[in-house]
Amino acid sequence: MTTGKPGIEVEPPQGSAKDLAIVFTDIVGSTAMIVKAGDLAFHKAIEAIFTITQESVKVHQGRIMKYFGDGCMVIFEDAGSALAFATKIQRRLSESPIVVAGEPLRVRIGLHVGRVYVKPTSYGEDAFGDPINLAARLTALAKPGQVVLSGAACAALPDERQRFLGTPERVAVNGFCEPVEMIRVDL
Amino acid sequence: MNADESATFPQVASEAIVVVDLVESTATINLFGWYAVGRGLLRELRAMITKVGSPRGLRCLKSTGDGYLLTFGNATSAERAAAQAVQCSFDLLELVRIRNEQVPEERAMSLRFAVHFGEVDVVENDREGPHVSYAFRLEAISRGSLAMALNPIPPEQLPLGNYVLCSEEVAGILSRRSDRWKTVCIGLLRLRGFPNWREVFLVLPNNHL
């Protein structure tokens, strides 16, 4: 595994390696929202969105690996389940907004697939691998309410699902030497 | 711009920003007292910083209560200041190591450094701006932070003290400017108040095993 910078390499961790789909969710403008709405209101909203997330993860047979306070990392066995999870979250938020300080809470979601190691650590089970970094970085490129997929994630979908996605674009991603193909899904 | 207008706009400089923190200073002060031990440790540290920092372009030295905020500049190459800041950090660690061999264990000093690089507002005896805040966020990283990181190193591989962390920007500068150190990514982290995931690096001497 590399960071994309020359001369810096990390030994791959011991553990089971699998091709998995990785999804990151990220609440838009969380810092400003806390300031505007206050901690209590914001945390109530976070609870509501995490409840939606947990329900959707269960339906699509994913696994929440980590919570980050304003988002989470979820893994799935296949890209189709991951995309279904991601689009379900965005649809539910669009149809039944969670309002914080008068503004609907909006989320960015990013999705990538790749070989990932899942292993126990001193702080609990965790997933490792370059695909994790790319999924996280791509998520930052999504617009509020949008889902973005890497080209690899799109290619891993069944043909009939690929047809309904947008046109790929090539984007520069921090930490990666080459531009990465990305597709935006607006709902 | 007239004199009054120029007075309200601070000078901006590209500097290396270092936050150095006395590890477990609160516990030390609580155990042994501020006047008995704590104040003395900070004064010793200040003297060491002045000694090794001045030849390396030290421009700002400000107390943070349990450590110091330092900045380094270089008139000929702004980036070179980052390499100088890292060298100063390791020089300080060496001075502390020698000092610790000569004092009782309870008076041993343990430091952690966070090095960043960017534009800062130059205020007399101080520096301001988001890059200063970023350096403080780096300094706050500890083993506990790694549970929330992506692709973190095993937490036990991050020392408890006497280490140097740096930002992506400084890691890039070091890879271009010097072969004295290597940088190991400790993970991608989200730092409070700053968007997106950021790589954070542990700086090690190039002969580190």
Q: How far is A175 from chain B (nearest CA, A)?
A: 8
User: In the prediction, which pLDDT does A3 show?
Assistant: 39
Does position B36 have pLDDT exceeding 80, yes or no?
no
Strand partners, B146: none
Q: Does B197 touch chain A (CB under 8 A)?
A: yes
Q: What is the mean pLDDT of residues A146-158?
A: 95
Give φ, ψ of A120 to 5 degrees. -75, 145
As a whole number of angstroms, the distance between CA B14 and CA B79 comes to 8
Interface of A with B (CB under 8 A): 1, 3, 5-8, 10, 31, 66, 68-69, 73, 121-124, 126, 128-130, 132-133, 136-137, 140, 174-175
What does the pLDDT read at residue B32? Answer: 65
Q: Does B172 touch chain A (CB under 8 A)?
A: yes
Q: Do A137 and B197 touch (CB under 8 A)?
A: yes
User: Between A5, A124, A132, which is nearest B151 by CB?
Assistant: A132
What is the pLDDT confidence band of residue A15, given thresholds at 50, 70 and 90? low
Average pLDDT over residues B144-167: 95
What does R_g of chain A's alpha carbons equal in angstroms? 16
Question: What tens digit of pLDDT does each residue of A104-141 get?
Answer: 999 999 999 999 999 999 999 999 999 999 999 999 99
Distance (Å, rounded) from C-alpha B3 to C-alpha B15?
A: 25
Cβ distance A8 to B146 less than 8 Å, yes or no, reads no
Q: How confident is the model at residue B31 (pLDDT cuts 50, 70, 90)?
A: low
* Mutation target among A5, A65, A173 for the B interface, most CBs of B within 10 A: A5
| B146 and A CB contact within 8 Å | yes
Is the CB of B106 inside 8 Å of chain A's CB atoms?
no
Backbone φ and ψ of B35, nearest 5°: -75, -35
Torsion of CA B88, B94, B95, B98, to 10 degrees: 180
Q: What is the pTM of this model?
A: 0.89
Coil vs helix vs strand at B186: strand
Judge whether B151 and B197 are in contact, CB under 8 Å.
no
Contact B61/A at CB under 8 A: no
Mean pLDDT over A44-61 rounds to 94
Local confidence band at B197 (pLDDT 50, 70, 90 cut-offs)? very high
pLDDT at B200: 98
> Rg for chain B (alpha carbons), in Å?
17
CB–CB contact A122 B172 (8 Å):
no
Residue A19's identity, in one-letter code, is: D
Is residue B137 packed enough to be buried (19+ CB in 10 Å), middle (13-18) or exposed (0-12)?
Answer: buried
pLDDT at residue A66 in the model = 94
Of B17-26, B96-105, B176-185, B197-206, the one with minimum mean pLDDT is B17-26
Cβ pair B150:A73 closer than 8 A: yes
Pairing between β-strand A16-27 and β-strand A107-121 as defined by DSSP bridges? antiparallel
What is the structure's pLDDT at A1?
A: 36
Task: State the average pLDDT over residues A157-161.
Answer: 82
List chain B residues with CB under 8 Å of A121. Answer: 154-155
Shortest Cα distance from B23 to chain A (angstroms)?
23
**What is the DSSP pairing of strand A99-100 with strand A103-104?**
antiparallel
